[in-house]
């Protein structure tokens, strides 16, 4: 009985310390897109303005493009060449969100027909990026 309690205590302690010191949670697999644009919201669906959105090269971590989300939470990063990248989104009071993606044959223009959906959760929970357009949302 004591051994079971000790294991349960250690497992709980590990879960607590892991969540306390982690800053980014990656959700899902790498996705493909033709334009780096989308919206940043919290888990209740409220738009998050002024979130920092960065695109970095996978191999080097070099920042290729950077912007802030607008008043309605939307963002668009232009002039990014085809390649493998990581999108990273940060906002005070929320955990960072990041996800690998591939930009194939980038398209120019003002519309965002396939938005990248970023869901930010308050510190202590995992924020994530999801390619909601694949689900028909």
Residue 126 belongs to what domain range?
Answer: 24-135
**Within a domain: residue 13?**
no
pLDDT tens-place string over residues 93-135: 888 888 899 998 878 777 888 889 898 888 766 666 655 444 4
pLDDT tens-place string over residues 65-91: 999 999 999 999 988 999 999 999 999
Strands (E), 1-134: 24-26, 31-33, 36-42, 52-57, 63-68, 74-77, 83-90, 96-103, 116-120, 128-130
The encoded tokens of residue 15 equal 């879960």
pTM over 0.75: no
Kindly report the CATH number assigned to the domain that includes residue 112. Answer: 2.60.40.180
**Within a domain: residue 9?**
no
**Within a domain: residue 81?**
yes
**Within a domain: residue 5?**
no
User: Over 80: is that where the pLDDT of 59 sits?
Assistant: yes
């Amino acid at each position: 009985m004591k051994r079971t309690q000790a294991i349960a205590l250690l497992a709980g302690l590990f879960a607590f310390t892991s969540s306390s010191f982690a800053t980014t949670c990656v959700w899902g697999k790498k996705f493909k897109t033709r334009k780096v644009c989308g919206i940043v919201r919290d888990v209740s669906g409220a738009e998050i303005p002024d979130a920092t959105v960065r695109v970095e090269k996978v191999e080097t971590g070099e920042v290729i493009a950077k912007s802030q989300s607008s008043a309605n939470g939307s963002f668009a990063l232009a002039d990014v060449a085809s390649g493998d990248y990581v999108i990273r989104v940060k906002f005070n009071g929320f955990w960072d969100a990041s996800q690998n993606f591939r930009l194939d044959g980038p398209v120019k223009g003002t519309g965002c027909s396939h938005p990248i959906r970023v869901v930010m959760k308050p510190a202590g929970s995992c924020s994530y990026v999801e390619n909601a357009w694949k689900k028909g949302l």
